[in-house]
């Protein structure tokens, strides 16, 4: 599978259609596409989205090409940079070879000729985006916990998954609390953070990976947590572009980045999703919640967030009479829950005492075993990616899976 984050700078609107169609025709391509026509927006997007591939429409405006190439090389040194051009539209005094030569001098590595044919596109992608390069070798995996319904257990699931992972990968897991309105990760882990996302925002001009890791609060499990701002007012200025920078930096510093979110589907959550390798959609077996979440699935579809990247978590499951059973939930949503976490009062006392459920519940506890299966799932996703890259060996990922394989079954 070729993974690619593709940023396209173009002036001809038809290019959007050509690239979309060429990409759609490639079975083993998993690409997110961003198109921009304004130079300023393209440059911002290079920094914010850290594309693995930048495609620039080449015409006679070589100054813009040069600027985009330089900005790309500064922000994403690993990115591949392609030129796309329409030979039939070249000015009579500019030959195709002159155009290509000049572009190569500016740092363009390869070319697509219009109209773009899928086989050409595949070949260029294979040449320029081998799986190793596309995954940028050292990047960690981002898993977010989302739902458009409040109080369903997003924070509970993200905290426990992050702690469970950190138990096997000390100092290699980051939990980013993006609940800008009211984050609970710090409290639920009994931590008193000295720094939060607000400090990262205030230091944004000099923020780099090193500083980001220094702003994390370290939990006794070995988990690094970037806590949410202390109040919604403090968070007022933090925007989605900044959060995307934080996630991209975290991905370069940690093997696993777990993101807790808030109950909405706004630009911020869309930005988080756009960067997520996987999203766990959390819901409950309560009819109004199911109705809301069904609409949420449609939004995810419109947003082109692939179903393979989604996992459904039916949380606080109880089979009390009148509540939809797992089969009813599956029929109603048209999707089977991947994980079913039973309702368990110990979650409340865990939240109150700041002792994560996953590390304090009895080994035989059903909810804890489902949480461990979720931990395995995140580790498995990273392991599968690593298998594509023979230069990377993450023995620790394997050990996490083995260590809890006895509990890897999920209900439902």
User: Binding residues for Mg ion, per CB under 5 A?
Assistant: 154-155
CB of 274 to ligand ATP, least distance (A): 20
Compare residues 49 and 317 and give the one whose CB is closer to ligand ATP.
Answer: 317
Put the strands of the sheet holding 2-9 in their side by side order.
29-36, 2-9, 53-57, 80-85, 110-113
Compare residues 39 and 286 and give the one whose CB is closer to Mg ion.
Answer: 286
Compare residues 38 and 266 and give the one whose CB is closer to ligand ATP.
Answer: 266
Cis geometry, peptide bond prior to residue 43 (ω within 30 degrees of 0): no
Return all residues near 211 (Cβ < 8 A) that are at least 6 apart: 200, 203
CB of 385 to Mg ion, least distance (A): 28
Half-sphere exposure of 247 (CA within 13 A, CB side): 30
CB of 223 to Mg ion, least distance (A): 17
CB of 155 to Mg ion, least distance (A): 3
Answer with the entry of Mg ion, ligand ATP, none that 156 interacts with (C-beta below 5 to 8 A by kind): ligand ATP
Which tokens belong to 219? 């939990």
Compare residues 39 and 286 and give the one whose CB is closer to ligand ATP.
Answer: 286
Answer with the entry of Mg ion, ligand ATP, none that 104 interacts with (C-beta below 5 to 8 A by kind): none
CB of 374 to ligand ATP, least distance (A): 12
Other CB atoms closer than 10 Å to residue 109's CB: what's the count? Answer: 16
Q: Is the dihedral of CA 388, 249, 241, 63 positive or negative?
A: negative
Q: Specify whether the CB–CB gap between 152 and 392 falls below 8 A.
A: no
Question: In the bound complex, which residue of the shown chain has the CB atom lying closest to Mg ion?
Answer: 155
Answer with the entry of ligand ATP, Mg ion, none that 241 interacts with (C-beta below 5 to 8 A by kind): none
CB of 360 to Mg ion, least distance (A): 20
Compare residues 262 and 280 and give the one whose CB is closer to ligand ATP.
Answer: 262
Residue ranges binding ligand ATP (CB under 6 A): 150-156, 179, 184, 262-263, 315-316, 341, 343-344, 347-348, 351, 367
Answer with the entry of Mg ion, ligand ATP, none that 68 interacts with (C-beta below 5 to 8 A by kind): none
Compare residues 49 and 145 and give the one whose CB is closer to Mg ion.
Answer: 145
Give the dihedral of Cα atoms 348, 349, 353, 357; nearest 10 deg: -80
Closest listed residue to residue 282, CA positions, set 338, 238, 332, 235: 338
Closest listed residue to residue 82, CA positions, set 68, 96, 97: 68
């Amino acid at each position: 599978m070729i993974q690619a984050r593709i940023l396209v700078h173009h002036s001809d609107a038809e290019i959007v259609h050509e690239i979309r169609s060429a990409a759609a025709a490639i079975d083993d391509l998993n690409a997110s596409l961003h198109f921009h026509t304004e130079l300023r927006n393209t440059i911002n997007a290079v920094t914010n989205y850290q594309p693995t591939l930048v495609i620039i429409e080449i015409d006679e405006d070589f100054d813009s090409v040069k600027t985009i190439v330089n900005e790309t090389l500064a922000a994403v040194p690993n990115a591949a940079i392609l030129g796309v051009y329409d030979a039939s539209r070249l000015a009579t005094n500019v030959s195709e070879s002159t155009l290509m030569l000049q572009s190569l001098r500016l740092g363009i590595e390869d070319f697509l000729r219009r109209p773009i044919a899928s086989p050409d596109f595949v070949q260029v992608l294979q040449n320029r985006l081998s799986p190793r390069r596309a995954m940028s070798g050292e990047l960690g995996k981002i898993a977010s916990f989302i739902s458009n319904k409040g109080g369903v257990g997003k924070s509970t699931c993200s905290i426990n998954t992050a702690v469970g992972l950190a138990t096997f990968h000390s100092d290699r897991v980051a939990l980013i609390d993006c609940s800008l309105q009211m984050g609970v990760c710090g409290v639920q882990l009994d931590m008193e953070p000295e720094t939060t996302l607000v400090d990262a925002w205030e230091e944004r001009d000099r923020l780099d990976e090193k500083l980001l890791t220094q702003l994390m609060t370290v939990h006794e499990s070995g988990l690094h947590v970037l806590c949410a701002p202390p109040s919604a007012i403090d968070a007022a200025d933090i925007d989605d572009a900044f959060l995307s920078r934080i996630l991209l930096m975290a991905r370069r510093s940690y093997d696993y980045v777990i993101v807790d979110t808030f109950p909405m589907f706004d630009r911020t959550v869309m930005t988080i999703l756009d960067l997520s390798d996987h999203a766990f959609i959390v819901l409950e077996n309560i009819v109004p919640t199911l109705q809301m979440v069904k609409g949420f699935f449609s939004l995810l579809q419109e947003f082109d967030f692939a179903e393979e990247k989604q996992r459904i978590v039916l949380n606080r499951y109880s089979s009390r009479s009148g509540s939809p059973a797992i089969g009813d939930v599956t029929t109603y949503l048209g999707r089977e829950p991947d994980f079913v976490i039973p309702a368990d009062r110990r979650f409340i006392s865990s939240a109150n005492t700041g002792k994560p459920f996953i590390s304090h519940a009895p080994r035989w506890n059903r909810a804890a075993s489902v949480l461990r299966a979720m931990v395995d799932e995140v580790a498995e996703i990273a392991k599968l990616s690593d298998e594509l890259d023979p230069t990377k060996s993450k023995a620790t990922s394997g050990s996490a899976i083995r260590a809890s394989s006895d509990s890897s079954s999920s209900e439902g």
